[in-house]
Amino acid sequence: MIFSIIYFIVYFLLFLVLLCLLVFNRRNQNSKYDFQPRVSILIAARNEEHTILRCLNAIENLHYPKDKLEILIGDDASTDNTRQVVLDFIRNKPGCTCIPITENLGEARGKANVLAHLAKYATTDFFFYTDADIAVPEDWIQGMLSVMKEDVGVVTGITSVEGDGFFAEMQAFDWYYALGLVQVVSDLKLPVTSMGNNMLLRRKAYEDVGGFESIKFSITEDIAIFNAILKKGWKFRNLYQQSVLAKSTPAATFWQFMHQRKRWMKGTAHLPLYMAIIFVLHAAYYPVLLPFYTYTSVGIAFLIFVVKLILQSIFLYLCLKRIGERTSWWNYVLFEIYMIVSSIILIIFFFLPSKVNWKGRKY
């Protein structure tokens, strides 16, 4: 009982602080980049025949000079028709290259290995990273470069989900909400993480750490490279704005969703302690609240539920407003129900003695 009361006091105080920071401590993100350098776009693809064209079409529509884009696609031993789909698309496009990946470089494995190989082929000073199931916005390059000052080694954009149906919409809100928490902390100039599906690395910063092949293997390779670059003294920027909002395809099945989130949860081991505490407090809310029902009145437990719903909904509303998106009030309630079910199931699934199944490989 006492533990639960202390937990709820800490939780709500922390949430109020984060909400105030979201409103009052927004970092200026309207800088302009004075020139348009040549840049490289690096894409790791494994068994993506049904999504890769969506990604490549979005890149084709970028508002950036075509002669300043170098697009490198690494085929990670795909067992489907991915490579042929890519080759058909890039035919007669001199700035695009598809590279089959057949061996490992140093410590790198899986996606990190593909990206390590692609960096060897890249000829520019700026490496843009996205995934084969991601559609980047038209102003992505210029938006990310706008905060790439001389001392910045890593820039991270915002990613969400684009798809039809209730499950896809809830996944989108989940991304907006979680990345909103990350942004609030990042705006305090405290490092949190990067995301490999919407990331920009300065070549010099990447080479300072020896590339992916010199970093201890992690299934969350984006967090690993982010931490390594910051240890070398480079700074970072996180952007939560529409110009860099990339859209992913949703997890197609429940089990794909579970393995995706288990992979992310394993990645929290590499997060700073202050961010890990925020995510743990958030994930533990209902595991703490549900037993609380057994030794308190229904009215008090319901009040705690309503307060959390209101604070969370305001936070999500402000996140959506920042990127120019809207939703009905009913969806905030549905999102809370989604959070109840998913958080409890994911905690159980995380502790099951099973490996993460990702792109047909187990880690």
Question: In whole angstroms, what is the distance from residue 221 CA to residue 218 CA?
Answer: 5
The yes-or-no verdict on residue 291 having pLDDT over 80 is: no
Question: What is the pLDDT, as a whole number, of residue 42?
Answer: 98
**Stronger pLDDT, 2 or 294, i.e. the higher one:** 2
**Stronger pLDDT, 183 or 350, i.e. the higher one:** 183
pTM: 0.90
pLDDT band at 285 (very low <50, low <70, confident <90, very high): confident
Question: What is the pLDDT, as a whole number, of residue 170?
Answer: 93
Q: Which two tokens stand for residue 225?
A: 């490279």
Residue closest to 248 by CA, chosen among 316, 163, 176: 163
Phi/psi class of residue 99: alpha, beta or left (left: φ > 0; alpha: ψ in -120 to 50)? beta
Question: What is the pLDDT, as a whole number, of residue 32?
Answer: 62
Question: What is the pLDDT, as a whole number, of residue 182?
Answer: 92
Question: What is the pLDDT, as a whole number, of residue 76?
Answer: 93
Question: What is the pLDDT, as a whole number, of residue 360?
Answer: 67
The strand pairing partners of 237, in sequence order, are 155
Q: Are 52 and 85 in contact (CB under 8 A)?
A: yes
The strand pairing partners of 41, in sequence order, are 71, 128
Please enumerate in sequence order all residues whose Cβ is within 8 A of that of 179, keeping only pairs 6 or more positions apart, or say none.
Answer: 158, 159, 160, 240, 319
Question: In whole angstroms, what is the distance from residue 199 CA to residue 129 CA?
Answer: 5
3-state secondary structure of 45: strand
3-state secondary structure of 74: strand
The yes-or-no verdict on residue 173 having pLDDT over 70 is: yes
Question: What is the pLDDT, as a whole number, of residue 230?
Answer: 97
Say if strands 69-75 and 96-100 run parallel, antiparallel, or are unpaired.
parallel
**Mean pLDDT along residues 258-263:** 81
What are the chain's domains? 2-25+268-353 (no CATH), 39-252 (3.90.550.10)
Q: Which two tokens stand for residue 312?
A: 């969370």
pLDDT band at 2 (very low <50, low <70, confident <90, very high): confident
Q: Which of 5-9, 279-283, 326-330 has the highest mean pLDDT?
A: 326-330
The yes-or-no verdict on residue 336 having pLDDT over 60 is: yes
